[in-house]
Structure 1
Amino acid sequence: MTPADLSSTVLHAVRRAVDEDALRAPVPARVRVERTRPGGSGDYACAVALQLAGPAGIPARGVAEILRERVAGAPGIGRVEITGPGFLNFTLDPTAGGAARSGRVREVLEKGPRYGWGTTCAGQVHQLHHRREVRAAVVAGAVAKLLRAQGALVRTSCEEAPDPDWARLGVTVDAHGRPPVPLGETRPVPAGATAGELLERLGADAARWGLLRPAGHDHAALGGELLVQGEGNPLFLVRYAHARARALVREGARLGVTGVYEQSADVPAPALHSALDDHPGVLAAAALHQAPDRLARHLETLADSFLDFQGVTPPLPAGDEKPSAAHRSRLALAEAAGTVLAGGLSLLGISAPDHL
């Protein structure tokens, strides 16, 4: 693990802590790590906890504990210690990273789109109640999927008879009417349009993304930008990344290259590996906080990191180049990224076409 890799890993930990509401502070643009000075502990040290303590309103050692929980066990890191007023000290484990990454890619390919599903909410029963409003209905449906993916039993209800057009947006309601006891309601900022109007202007996939991508307290942007076929449209970016991953797998099959991640041919793509590693935690947090927007943002991060990786490190041989272990590992990583993107889009009720 290089200093840049370690910096990226710590920054991911900060973002994850903020997304999970464990830490309330602005995410820095970058995190600086330095070689430990003579007599210090570990290989590298980082003072980000001291930087975040003031905005977070908690002691630096408390911030360091929050971050240590999210960094410990990351590929390539052997031990994380807290020293002094709140310095994080890292001892690297160069032998562990490749094995961890190989195991993760293998797990993704074995579990398929269900990679990241867990038991965080096992045994829980949730009754989701919402108004007769399209955004509330779509958000409640997505939350129900996320909770079920974490093992919960879920029932949805609406205060009035559902809009018939909701079915075309993939929304189902188990019951309607005022419940006999008060229930917590799903109350995002209303869309300002009906399901029929959104379907006519945007279609089901773009409408669902536009309704789910913003946090519930923010207004949903539901304009023509959702239909733009360009990298400025996050929905297009996510679906394009998935389609690109599937195209690489198809072309690999044509060339006789099968994706198998080999520890001896570890792929240097820290951002992509981190995004895959974060996915189970993101799904659990999105379910616990009933916030599908967290999953949408994570898919954008994953898509960005995948497209960067495949642009810099081509997964397939070119010209007269012979297939190697490096190509097999890269192709397996590409297939894993596409698999996670498809699974995430499915939980949001959005299709993941193989061709765009």
Structure 2
Amino acid sequence: MTPADLSRSVVRAVRCAVEDGELPAGVVVPERVVVERTRPGGVGDYASPVAFGVGRGAGVAPRGVAEVLAPRLAALPGIERVEITGAGFLNFVLAGSSVAEVVRDVRARGPRYGFAPDGEPRARVVRDAVLRIERSQADRSQGRPVGGGPAPVAPVAKRDGDVVARYGADAAAWAMLCVPAHETPVFPAWLLVQDESSEFFRVRYAHGRARALIRNAGQLGFRPDPGDVDGSADALLGALVDYPLVLEAAAHHRAPERLVRHLVVLADALLDFQYHVLPKGDEKPSAAHRARLALAEAAGTVLAGGLALLGIDAPDHL
């Protein structure tokens, strides 16, 4: 179970508890549920404060809500244990995702890895119409889209001038998106630097390195094949597993800077991992090399998809 699956499972658990009469009929089932990495000193892998919101709306103590939801969630495949802490926080220990499972999922979804399911047809049609209507009215609201967009959106400072002409469209977009919408963006000199001191460069370079590893492996006569990978992949695997949850949180909070930050984490993990992918010296390609290559390829796919969501190009060569 991925973190994004966990979020949707919590929503379903609330809905079923209401339908079965375990929670009051007046409970409003949330559309989304916040699930976050457990903070230092916490319990389990992920935690959610959902019981507080549900309990407040229904006049029920959060711990009572948590005690209803915990056994339902603990019975789901992929969840090893659910614990309640404090006044009603739900804490989850998930069954570990294998590298092969994550890589196969990325391969199947491609750049759409981490996207939420399309959902019920009418909801999708209505949502898309609302978004188009919001865009049609953005100018009249002085940069503040109606219906709950980022409000307000701080403009580029006049002193920075034409940032697209100076830095290029992609670098300028990165700087505009890497801070919360209400903050004035900063355009540091490293946006133009073509080395790993620049976060913008590192993310696109990591994508290019993933593509280069595929080309280099082809020259050595082997292709990627999902399989088990040793502990050298832990950081990269964790960043891939968390990616769907980051997308969901970025959408829920209308905060693209969350995606920007996670792409940096993913890129840094890939750049560290790249040295374990190809055979060294007289070493012959093995199943382990093919599995590592498949993981690097998956990371490159996710980087390309994340950059595309930000409206930024992901070149194969830098």
Range of TM-score over shorter length: 0.5 to 0.7
**Structure 2 counterpart of 1:111:** 109
1:32 positional shift:
6.0
Q: State how far apart, in whole Å, the 2-side matches of 1:305 and 1:80 are.
A: 28
1:231 positional shift:
2.5
1:318 positional shift:
1.4
Contact 1:46 1:88 in 2 (8 A): no
1:62-120 CA distances to partner (integer Å, 9 max, x unpaired)?
A: 9x99xx99x989x9x86224278699999896xx643xx21220121222212112237
CA RMSD of aligned residues (A): 4.3
Compare the two structures and name the one with the higher strand fraction: 1
Q: Which amino acid aligns with 2:176?
A: L
**Structure 2 counterpart of 1:157:** 136
Q: State how far apart, in whole Å, the 2-side matches of 1:193 and 1:72 are.
A: 54
**Stretch moving more, 324-333 or 226-235:** 226-235
Q: Which amino acid aligns with 1:114?
A: R
Contact 1:231 1:237 in 2 (8 A): yes
Q: State how far apart, in whole Å, the 1-side matches of 2:146 and 2:212 are.
A: 50
Instruction: Map 1:208-247; keep pairs closer than 5 Å.
Output: 208-247=173-212
1:254 positional shift:
0.9
**How many residues are treated as equivalent by the alignment?**
263
1:270 aligns with 2:252: no
Q: State how far apart, in whole Å, the 2-side matches of 1:61 and 1:280 are.
A: 28
**Structure 2 counterpart of 1:292:** 256
Give the unaligned 5+ runs of structure 1. Answer: 1-8, 14-19, 34-44, 50-58, 128-147, 161-175
**Structure 2 counterpart of 1:260:** 225
Contact 1:276 1:302 in 2 (8 A): yes
1:297 positional shift:
1.0
Give the TM-score normalised by the residue count of structure 2.
Answer: 0.67
1:159 positional shift:
4.9
Q: Percent identity?
A: 46
What secondary structure, in the 3-state scheme, does the structure 2 residue paired with 1:79 have? strand
Instruction: Map 1:329-340; keep pairs closer than 5 Å.
Output: 329-340=291-302
1:232 positional shift:
2.8
Q: Which amino acid aligns with 2:136?
A: S
Sort the Cα spacing of 1:153 and 1:111 in 2 relative to 1 into closer, same or farther, 3 A.
farther
What secondary structure, in the 3-state scheme, does the structure 1 residue paired with 2:211 have? helix
**Structure 2 counterpart of 1:79:** 80
What secondary structure, in the 3-state scheme, does the structure 2 residue paired with 1:307 have? helix
Q: State how far apart, in whole Å, the 1-side matches of 2:97 and 2:237 are.
A: 10
1:302 positional shift:
0.7
1:146-184 CA distances to partner (integer Å, 9 max, x unpaired)?
A: xx7xxx873122554xxxxxxxxxxxxxxx799xx9654
Contact 2:115 2:244 in 1 (8 A): yes
What secondary structure, in the 3-state scheme, does the structure 1 residue paired with 2:136 have? strand
**Structure 2 counterpart of 1:205:** 170
Sort the Cα spacing of 1:344 and 1:48 in 2 relative to 1 into closer, same or farther, 3 A.
closer
1:290 positional shift:
1.8
Q: State how far apart, in whole Å, the 2-side matches of 1:47 and 1:295 are.
A: 20
Sort the Cα spacing of 1:335 and 1:79 in 2 relative to 1 into closer, same or farther, 3 A.
same
Q: Which amino acid aligns with 2:302?
A: V
Q: State how far apart, in whole Å, the 2-side matches of 1:275 and 1:310 are.
A: 15
Contact 1:125 1:154 in 2 (8 A): no
Q: State how far apart, in whole Å, the 2-side matches of 1:90 and 1:290 are.
A: 25
What secondary structure, in the 3-state scheme, does the structure 1 residue paired with 2:182 have? coil
Contact 1:267 1:326 in 2 (8 A): no
1:322 aligns with 2:284: yes
Instruction: Map 1:76-225; keep pairs closer than 5 Å.
Output: 79-82=80-83, 97-98=97-98, 101-119=99-117, 123-124=123-124, 154-155=131-132, 156-160=135-139, 183-184=147-148, 186=150, 187-193=152-158, 197-225=162-190
Q: State how far apart, in whole Å, the 2-side matches of 1:345 and 1:315 are.
A: 23
1:237 positional shift:
1.1
